[in-house]
Amino acid sequence: MLIVVHLLFLLLTAAVAQYYSGQGMGRYQYGRSRGGGNGLRGRSPNPKSLPMKAMEYRSVVYNAARDGKLNRLKIFLDHKSKEEIGKLVHAKTNGATPLIMACRNGHLEVVKYIIEQCTAEIEQVGSVTFDGETIEGAPPLWCAAAAGHLDIVKYLIQKGAGVNKTTYTNSTPLRAACFDGHYEIVKHLVNNEADIEIANRHGHTCLMISCYKGHREIAQYLLELNADVNRKSVKGNTALHDCAESGSLDIMKLLLKHGAKMEKDAYGMTPLMAASVAGFSKIVEFLIGRQECTKHERIDALELLGATYVDKKRDMLGAINFWRQAMEDRSNEPPLPKPKQGSQVAAYENSEEVTNLEELDELISDPDDMRMQALLVRERILGPAHPDTSYYIRYRGALYADMGNFERCIMLWMYALDMQQTVLEPLSPTTQSSFLSFAELFSFMMTEWRNRPAHSIAFKDIHNVLLRAIMELEKGKADETADKDSSHFSRLLVIIMHLLCLMCRLQKIMKKSEDHSFKEVVYKLVRMKPIGTKGFSPLHLACSRETTNVGRYPVCSFPSADVAQLLMDVGADVNAIDLDGNSPLHIASSNRPCRSEVIRTLLRNGAHLDRCNKDRKTPMQLIRGMSINDIVSPLNYLTLQCLSARKIVKCNISYKGQIPKKLETFIEMH
Ligand SMILES: *[C@@H]1O[C@H](CO)[C@@H](O)[C@H](O)[C@H]1NC(C)=O
Ligand SMILES: *[C@@H]1O[C@H](CO)[C@@H](O)[C@H](O)[C@H]1NC(C)=O
């Protein structure tokens, strides 16, 4: 059981990470600078032409600057030519220059030496890491401010570094200093005319980050400078939201004194709701005590807070207290009864929200019912489009799976998936993470339950998930605006390959009707002709080793002869080519190590051993580590037709217009 607990907690943390990095309302925009997305890692690649000695020199300079070894640096550089020194101090290692590293690590003397003696460019940007987060395009001043080195900040400004210069994601040195509460640096930057209103690319300002990180002094200082207290971020977030989400009651009072207004963000959340969702009861109590708070808002806040106490704090008594307070409030004049619930939800075991105090008191004896109440309350107040709603349904499901109750887990996850597919844009990362979790769960159940009767893993569950994944893929294909670089599309396609692979494992025990409806789904996929990265068709993916890597936990191992066979059974084109002119057989032949059964499967289904890709390489030439003769007898697969075609191409015999069109294409692929 221990292993189970471990795995699912990992699944959960994966879900949390996904939530925060993609769709969540929160953290994403609070990073010092972070832009999100993987495309931004603009590291400079190692120049290939640099001779080895130069590489070594470069790392000597870099390491000495990073570690503050001024003498070493001097001994090494002093006798070098100006040109050579210039090259060495401007070179990047892992995206950072020596100057960036000296600023990051607080070595003032080294900074002075690099700037004055080596005449380093004072604004040259680079990547730098804080708490495991990589910030791209950071100027030296930004690095010193973020790391809290006042002496270096002073020095750089005195040398003319621009105080308003930002990182690639538009974070200023001032915002970096606010992030970790470096008050002295904040004051120094402001005294040197830093702009306090420059927001990062999420529209998150210096005041907001000070609120979120709870730096009261800095927030007060910025307010005294007349920082705009009612600015909104791209997602409609205000400084009040930031206080609510981080539990900074003191700062919140300060903001209100400076005229901050309660506004809704893009998810329709007021600061009061944000505090309820985050579970800060002190803030909720403070805000519902204010005159401007309506009865309706008060009740919503208390009910949400109760739900947070159930799921996040696991404090059932605390939750009941808030819910009771809300219930009493509902019955006070004028009465405000709970709205009628729509249809019952099977995934919630058909639970219904309690409507009076007696029912509420009965709840406490049934923790499971409490948990369902929490999900119901959240869904009603936040609505299905709010990421928290589906997140906590999945969270609850994972906890059930942890206890070995996979059936409930699947029901809840399926319900959450339905919700995501209904309200989110096609191919949303949140929906993808649901599909991946399913694949991981099924794979886990299969491996862990090897010795149990096979029917414990229901065909219909995987079938269901597969159907929905293909539906999602179709929607994504139709809606090209949703996924500009098509990376989401490719990823979902890879997840689908894993689901197919899991399904193949069940094929031996499938009933005839099941096998039929499974093939029907796969046919639907193949007919759609989805194209992944590098122009891969599903059959290419089935033959590629890289398909194995999809998430953090193993699901299936590729290449898979079973999946390849399955795809060809329903009509996948064995000779489809990718962007580089590779057929699936090319891909299968370039895997290291080669899997011979995949190659045999493809050949049995009519793949050409002597087809050329754009580099004019045939699969036969790509196989390494073993000879084609060890796998198959090539003579069985080489036809006279193929040999003639190759000869025609090789000898440049003209054929266009002299033979039937069909034969022309045949010759062209050789
Ligand atoms: C920074 O921006 C502020 C406000 O726009 C401006 O007043 C100040 O001169 C700028 N500082 C520098 C060094 O450009
Ligand atoms: C092949 O033949 C064509 C026309 O017959 C000619 O234009 C072309 O240069 C030839 N290519 C080679 C590689 O000999």
Ligand 2 site, CB within 6 A: 652, 654
What pLDDT shows up at residue 635? 73
Q: Read off the pLDDT of residues 91-142 as tens digits, 9 standing for 90 and up.
A: 999 999 999 999 999 999 999 999 999 999 999 999 999 988 899 999 999 9
What pLDDT shows up at residue 411? 94
CA-654 nearest atom, ligand 2: 5
Determine the residue of 649, 650, 651, 652 to mutate for testing ligand 2's pocket, defined as the one with the most ligand atoms within 8 A of the Cβ atom.
652
What pLDDT shows up at residue 52? 60
d(CA 641, CA 180): 72
pLDDT at 46 over 90: no
pLDDT at 561 over 50: yes
Across residues 281-302, what is the average pLDDT?
A: 96
Does residue 191 line the site of ligand 1, with CB under 6 A?
Answer: no
What pLDDT shows up at residue 453? 57
Q: Tell me the CA–centroid distance for residue 653 and ligand 2, in Å.
A: 8
Answer with the one of 195, 222, 253 that is the final residue of a domain: 195
What pLDDT shows up at residue 48? 46
Nearest to 26 by CA among 298, 283, 386: 386
When mean pLDDT is compared over 43-57, 182-196, 411-425, the highest value belongs to 182-196
CA-194 nearest atom, ligand 1: 1
Mean pLDDT of the chain: 87
CA-197 nearest atom, ligand 1: 4
Q: Determine what percent of the chain is predicted with pLDDT higher than 70.
A: 89
Residue 122 counted as domain residue: yes
Q: Read off the pLDDT of residues 544-557 as tens digits, 9 standing for 90 and up.
A: 999 999 887 788 99
pLDDT at 44 over 50: no
Name the least confident of 212-221, 359-368, 484-493, 532-541: 484-493
What pLDDT shows up at residue 372? 95
Confidence of residue 179 (pLDDT cuts 50, 70, 90): very high
**CB atoms near residue 343 (< 10 Å):** 6
Residue 64 counted as domain residue: yes
Maximum pairwise Cα distance, the chain: 96
Looking up residue 134, the CATH number of its domain turns out to be: 1.25.40.20
Does residue 160 line the site of ligand 1, with CB under 6 A?
Answer: no
Does residue 164 line the site of ligand 1, with CB under 6 A?
Answer: yes
Does residue 193 line the site of ligand 1, with CB under 6 A?
Answer: yes
Residue 109 counted as domain residue: yes
Residue 78 counted as domain residue: yes
Answer with the one of 195, 225, 258 that is the final residue of a domain: 195
Smallest-distance ligand from the CA of 653: 2
pLDDT at 1 over 50: no
What pLDDT shows up at residue 207? 97
d(CA 369, CA 77): 72
What pLDDT shows up at residue 626? 65
Q: Tell me the CA–centroid distance for residue 575 and ligand 2, in Å.
A: 27
Residue nearest to atom 5 of ligand 1 (CA): 195
Nearest to 189 by CA among 218, 215, 213: 218
Answer with the one of 168, 195, 222 that is the final residue of a domain: 195
Domain span at 60: 51-195
Q: How many domains does the chain have?
A: 2
What pLDDT shows up at residue 429? 87
**CB atoms near residue 475 (< 10 Å):** 15
* Structure token pair of residue 599: 């190659």
CA-162 nearest atom, ligand 1: 13
What pLDDT shows up at residue 6? 45
Residue 535 counted as domain residue: no
Across residues 242-248, what is the average pLDDT?
A: 96
Q: Determine what percent of the chain is predicted with pLDDT higher than 90.
A: 63
What pLDDT shows up at residue 624? 64
Determine the residue of 174, 188, 189, 193 to mutate for testing ligand 1's pocket, defined as the one with the most ligand atoms within 8 A of the Cβ atom.
193
Residue 148 counted as domain residue: yes
Which residues have CB under 8 Å from 222's CB, separation 6+?
178, 196, 206, 207, 210
d(CA 630, CA 98): 53
d(CA 317, CA 313): 11
d(CA 108, CA 150): 10
pLDDT at 644 over 90: no
d(CA 59, CA 76): 12
DSSP 605: T
Residue nearest to atom 2 of ligand 1 (CA): 195
Confidence of residue 449 (pLDDT cuts 50, 70, 90): low
Confidence of residue 8 (pLDDT cuts 50, 70, 90): low
Q: Please report the DSSP string for 45-95 in residue order.
A: PPPTTS-HHHHHHHHHHHHHHHHT-HHHHHHHHTTS-HHHHHHHHH--BTT
Across residues 51-61, what is the average pLDDT?
A: 79
Across residues 151-162, what is the average pLDDT?
A: 98
Query: What are the respective helix, strand and coil percentages of the chain, to the nearest 5?
Result: 60, 0, 40
Nearest to 141 by CA among 208, 184, 126, 30: 126
Q: CB burial class (10 A; 0-12, 13-18, 19+) of residue 193?
A: exposed
What pLDDT shows up at residue 522? 96
What pLDDT shows up at residue 5? 45
| Better-scored residue on pLDDT, 479 or 289 | 289
Q: Tell me the CA–centroid distance for residue 652 and ligand 2, in Å.
A: 6
Residue 77 counted as domain residue: yes
Is 137 strand, coil or helix?
strand
Across residues 396-422, what is the average pLDDT?
A: 91
CB 135 within 8 A of CB 51: no
pLDDT at 26 over 50: no
Does residue 163 line the site of ligand 1, with CB under 6 A?
Answer: yes
Name the least confident of 3-17, 266-280, 407-421, 526-540: 3-17
Which residues have CB under 8 Å from 440's CB, separation 6+?
11, 551, 553, 555
Q: Tell me the CA–centroid distance for residue 643 and ligand 2, in Å.
A: 20
What pLDDT shows up at residue 333? 83
Residue 157 counted as domain residue: yes
